[in-house]
Amino acid sequence: MTFKVAIIGRPNVGKSTLFNRLVGRKLALVDDTPGVTRDRRVHPAKLYDLHFDVIDTAGFEDAAASTLPGRMRAQTEIAIREADLIFFTIDAKSGLMPDDKTFAEIVRKSGKPVVVVANKAEARGAQGGMLEAWELGLGEPIPVSAEHGQGLPDLRDAVIAALGEARAFGEDEEHADEETAASEVLIGEDITDPDAEPRYDDTKPMRIAVVGRPNAGKSTLINALIGEERLLTGPEAGITRDSISVDWDWHGRRLKLFDTAGMRRKARIHEKLEVMSVQDGLRAIRFAEIVIIVLDATIPFEKQDLQIADLIIREGRAPVIAFNKWDMIDHPQELLAELREKTERLLPQARGMQAVPVSAETGRGLDKLMDAVIRTHRVWNSRVSTGKLNRWLEGILAHHPPPAVAGRRLKIKYVTQAKTRPPGFVVSCSRPDAMPQSYVRYLSNSLREAFDMPGVPIRIALRASE
């Protein structure tokens, strides 16, 4: 399901020009005479990777005056009713007029999501109009030049912010990365909630799982984090347990922990289950946003450890390594350097992964571990604006463009971030099939560097540009 956009604003602000820009054809009449566009039309339009319909509307005019403006106003109100999103367009060059405020009021009353388009932003003196547009109380004005095609990346991001990712992209399977589709069913409320605030939200409980081989120290670590005595004396204020999870907070940050250790203990009673089953591990990983991998620092990076890490990354979760039993290590500095080097080498899929030495038994290093968890969660949620991405792309294309394949140079048109948690990018290019994996890896590494996203999986999807 695509969504419908109504471009609303008083005559002459540039609605028809914007309409043409989005629809990509010269359809609506453009004229300097106010009110020249009289028909309401609906046309398929796109803004980078967003596909939607635009309702072209006649300009708002004060209904009281004559019958023609009255009819135009009525049509506009119908358009608002039909629309899922309103582009409330103002002329930043001329600044706000009394009419703008009247119509802004009508738009506000409709309760529909709105993006304030400050058009003609390229004109000299438009800055003042931009600032005035805040007074409409409809949110941040997005500077755009419909005539020159400027500001469109930010407009695209504003649409997603106003509608939410799920609605902005419709039920478009193109954007449901196959690899993560299943896990998103479990984790997805943040992604699919149409009203979800795209900014980082640290008030929701962060979901954590603790995984690792038997005897690595998972139970000890969990108890140390939650506070052992409190656990022994049963649930208290701030700690609640249900069958699979424990809620508590760490210095004011709310956390929800998937308690595999507890489950495992129960299982042991029945059949002395020594190894956490793959099923449980997978459940824990899918439940979580951040997964702490507990490694026994005296025997780190066994095959099974690497398999777990790889699974976490493939599931799109962010791993944080705890090198446990650090109290038993004789040359901690040397070992830490060695283990961190190994981490980078063995797990290049999440370069820059946080790896923290801890002692679950003595409690040392736990603060640092939790800092690393919170930092990683932020990165996992990070969002890069389309404007920044495409400025980055310009640099890439200038210094390290895609190679030629069979004599034809591959072209990249634009890059957008289609999702977060983990960050996922869409690269629109000619002949996606021909794009070498090594170049995609280069893009991914460069994105990670440029936008400071260490230690989390980064997804890149290639799309054929039209």
Binds ligand GDP by CB under 6 A, chosen from 1, 32, 345, 438 = 32
Residues 37 to 96 in contact with ligand GDP, rule: CB under 6 A: 37, 59
Q: Report if residue 330 touches ligand GDP, rule: CB under 6 A.
A: no
β-strand partners of 249: 254
d(Cα 436, Cα 388) in Å, to the nearest integer? Answer: 24
Q: Which sign does the torsion angle of CA 120, 384, 177, 396 carry?
A: positive
219 labeled part of a ligand binding site: yes
188 labeled part of a ligand binding site: no
Q: For residues 168 and 216, which CB has a smaller minimum distance to ligand GDP in the complex?
A: 216
- Residue 427 phi/psi, 5-degree rounding, is -105, 115
In the complex, the smallest distance separating the C-beta of residue 111 from ligand GDP, rounded to whole angstroms, is 23
215 labeled part of a ligand binding site: yes
Residues 242 to 281 in contact with ligand GDP, rule: CB under 6 A: 261
- Residue 108 phi/psi, 5-degree rounding, is -60, -40
CB count in 10 Å sphere of residue 254: 14
Binds ligand GDP by CB under 6 A, chosen from 106, 123, 335, 450 = 123
For residue 416, which amino acid is it?
Answer: T
Q: For residues 221 and 447, which CB has a smaller minimum distance to ligand GDP in the complex?
A: 221
Task: Point out which span in 25-33, 94-102, 389-397, 435-443 binds ligand GDP (CB under 6 A).
Answer: 25-33
379 labeled part of a ligand binding site: no
3-state secondary structure of 336: helix
Sequential DSSP letters for 42-62: EEEEEETTEEEEEEE-PPP--
Q: For residues 211 and 347, which CB has a smaller minimum distance to ligand GDP in the complex?
A: 211
Per DSSP, helices labelled H in 43-142 are 67-82, 98-110, 126-133
Triad 53, 392, 166: Cα angle to 5°: 35
Q: For residues 166 and 288, which CB has a smaller minimum distance to ligand GDP in the complex?
A: 288
Residue 275: both structure tokens together: 């190894």
Binds ligand GDP by CB under 6 A, chosen from 215, 277, 304, 307 = 215
Which spans of this chain sit near ligand GDP (rule: CB under 6 A)?
9, 11-17, 30-32, 37, 59, 119-120, 122-123, 145-147, 212, 214-220, 261, 324-325, 327-328, 359-361
Binding-site members for GTP are 9-16, 56-60, 119-122, 212-219, 259-263, 324-327
